[in-house]
Amino acid sequence: MAKIFFMVMMLLMIMLSILFILSLNYLHPTPLIIILIFYTIMICLNMSIWSYNFIYSIMLFLIMISGMLVIFLYFSSLISNEQNKFYMNKYMIISFLMNFFMLMYLLMAHLKFNYIKYLSKEILSINMLNSPSFMNIMMIYKYPYNNLTLLCMLYLLISLFTIIKICSFKSMSLRKLI
């Protein structure tokens, strides 16, 4: 029960954080990469709820974060040095807090009425590994789709080596080359 409550609570907090950042209407690579990291954490938490072991969610998290950080480094080397100006509006803070408390209340009411359902240990065990939602996530490592996953990893690796080679050949940053 505590594991489910903690996971659902984390998912709700991450969703609220994503909505709060999106409501700022601020398009800079830093908040966008934060949104991507939050979304990846949300997907990994969702995967860990449905499976008995956490190895698949940890592998997916490491792959996605490393790929996103490499892409973020490429973009940050190309854009100019702009200062991050973050304006907080008191109405946005009030809206965020009201949404948070409303979701907390709904979550508590949901867990109170479905307490018996969450007491069952069969929900968290091997039965969830055979569920269709978990099998769809696992398809990226199986035959027809594993080639696409490997292709994406190789693309990131080759683009990393290309950028490093260009930068080391000219002995300057990529921003100065363009």
Mean pLDDT over 126-150 rounds to 64
**Rounded to whole angstroms, how far apart are CA atoms 159 and 112?**
51
Q: Which position has the token pair 């979701």?
A: 103
Kindly tell me the burial class for residue 12, based on how many C-beta atoms sit within 10 Å of its own C-beta (0-12, 13-18, 19 or more): middle
Q: Contact 149/141 with Cβ under 8 angstroms? A: yes
Closest CA to 34 of 80, 76, 68: 68
Closest CA to 89 of 23, 31, 38, 34: 23
Mean pLDDT of the chain: 69
Reported as a pLDDT band with limits 50, 70 and 90, residue 172 is low
Most confident range (mean pLDDT) of 57-61, 74-78, 103-107, 171-175 is: 57-61
Is the pLDDT at 101 greater than 60? The verdict is yes
* Domain spans of the chain, in order of start: 1-79+88-121
**Rounded to whole angstroms, how far apart are CA atoms 27 and 25?**
6
